[in-house]
């Protein structure tokens, strides 16, 4: 009985230590989530103004055109996959990557029909274990990423479409809704849909003069706009990662609390049984002597 009680006490101590870790991780993730949401909000003025200028050119009614706005026959597709570097975030990465693999296998007949650009260690390892060739990878992206951290991979993916190496480009990421809801998303980024620039024309709009020409400005801004979409998806995925980890660690803390309560109850029962047995042995011994 004493051996069983010692084992229960060790389990209680171990679970208490685990609870302290999960609670700390929950609090850290909550703080990082707030910073990630703030970063996403801070990036919006730039992307909104860039979109406004591109929209002004694309819908100006002139003869301005760009390969990024033109659809063509789909022969090869590129996927830019955004995942996390660390785990303990519930099914965040697994759900996203499973959806990607299902999409690839249903849409493509051979590996020559698609290319993969991967951000994040979890996505890289998952795809490599399944023998997918990765065109370019970027790992070790910080918790508060700057555009410079993913500029190389974003630029190469966009340039691949510009040069005709790929006929469409999809961005694969987790869309942040709230701390307990993240949506695995595979959205087409290129070619850009000209209708998305129509927007709401009811309010006042700025008039721009372009130098040297609207077409030259569009040639510079459209790749930057596409890269900004990648960065926005990265910020969205970071917020999803922290939200999912906060929720997962919160659930783990609750489960640890329940386990400690059950183990404590078991310990008290075992202790009571041991005391009762000792009393019974003392009484029995006393009766035998009398």
**In this predicted structure, what is the pLDDT of residue 286?**
76
Do 171 and 269 lie in a common domain?
Answer: no
Do 262 and 121 lie in a common domain?
Answer: no
**In this predicted structure, what is the pLDDT of residue 101?**
96
Q: Map residue 150 onto helix, strand or coil.
A: coil
Query: ∠ at Cα 23 (20, 25), nearest 5°?
Result: 110
Do 185 and 272 lie in a common domain?
Answer: no
**Each residue of 98-117: pLDDT tens digit?**
999 999 999 999 999 999 99
Do 18 and 45 lie in a common domain?
Answer: no
CATH assignment of the domain containing 49: 3.40.1380.10
**In this predicted structure, what is the pLDDT of residue 94?**
95
Do 258 and 235 lie in a common domain?
Answer: no
**In this predicted structure, what is the pLDDT of residue 247?**
94
- Spell out, as residue ranges, where the chain has pLDDT lower than 70: 1-3, 58-65, 194-206, 208, 290
For residue 25, give every residue at least 6 positions away whose Cβ sits within 8 Å of its Cβ, in sequence order, or none: 88, 245, 249
Q: Is 119 exposed, middle or buried (0-12, 13-18, 19+ CB in 10 A)?
A: buried
Do 184 and 236 lie in a common domain?
Answer: yes
**In this predicted structure, what is the pLDDT of residue 39?**
87
The parent domain of residue 48 ranges over 28-199+206-247
**In this predicted structure, what is the pLDDT of residue 3?**
60
Do 186 and 270 lie in a common domain?
Answer: no
CA dihedral 242, 245, 250, 254 (to 10 degrees): 180
Do 238 and 95 lie in a common domain?
Answer: yes
**In this predicted structure, what is the pLDDT of residue 2?**
60
Do 100 and 185 lie in a common domain?
Answer: yes
**In this predicted structure, what is the pLDDT of residue 29?**
95
Do 95 and 109 lie in a common domain?
Answer: yes
Cα-based distances in Å from 177 to 26, 97, 171, 261: 18, 19, 17, 34
- Give CA–CA dist 21/146, Å, rounded: 29
Do 179 and 228 lie in a common domain?
Answer: yes
**Each residue of 34-86: pLDDT tens digit?**
999 888 888 878 887 887 777 777 666 555 667 787 888 999 999 999 999 99
How many domains is the chain built from? 2
CATH assignment of the domain containing 273: 1.10.287.80
Do 261 and 237 lie in a common domain?
Answer: no
């Amino acid at each position: 009985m004493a051996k069983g009680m010692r084992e229960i006490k060790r389990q209680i101590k171990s679970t208490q230590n685990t609870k302290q870790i999960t609670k700390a991780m929950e609090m850290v993730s909550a703080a990082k989530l707030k910073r990630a949401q703030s970063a996403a909000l801070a990036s919006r003025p730039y992307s909104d103004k860039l979109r406004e200028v591109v929209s002004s050119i694309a819908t100006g009614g002139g003869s301005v055109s760009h390969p990024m706005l033109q659809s063509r026959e789909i022969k090869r597709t590129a996927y830019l996959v955004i995942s996390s570097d660390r785990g303990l975030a519930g099914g965040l990465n697994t759900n996203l990557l499973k959806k990607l693999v299902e999409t690839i296998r249903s849409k493509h007949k051979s590996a020559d029909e698609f290319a993969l650009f991967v951000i994040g260690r979890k996505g890289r390892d998952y795809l490599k274990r399944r023998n997918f060739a990765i065109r370019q990878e970027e790992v070790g992206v910080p918790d508060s990423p700057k555009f410079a951290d993913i500029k190389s991979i974003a630029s190469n993916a966009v340039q691949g479409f510009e040069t005709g190496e790929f006929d469409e480009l999809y961005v694969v990421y987790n869309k942040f809704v709230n701390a307990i809801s993240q949506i695995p998303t595979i959205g087409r980024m290129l070619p850009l849909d000209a209708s998305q620039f129509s927007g709401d024309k009811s309010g006042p709009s700025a008039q721009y003069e372009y130098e040297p020409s609207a077409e030259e400005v569009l040639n510079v801004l459209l790749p930057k706009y596409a890269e900004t979409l990648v960065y926005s998806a990265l910020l969205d995925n970071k917020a999803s990662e922290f939200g999912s980890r906060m929720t997962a660690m919160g659930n783990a803390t609750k489960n640890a609390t329940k386990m400690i309560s059950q183990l404590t109850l078991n310990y008290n029962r075992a202790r009571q049984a041991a005391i009762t047995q000792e009393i019974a042995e003392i009484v029995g011994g006393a009766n035998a002597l009398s």
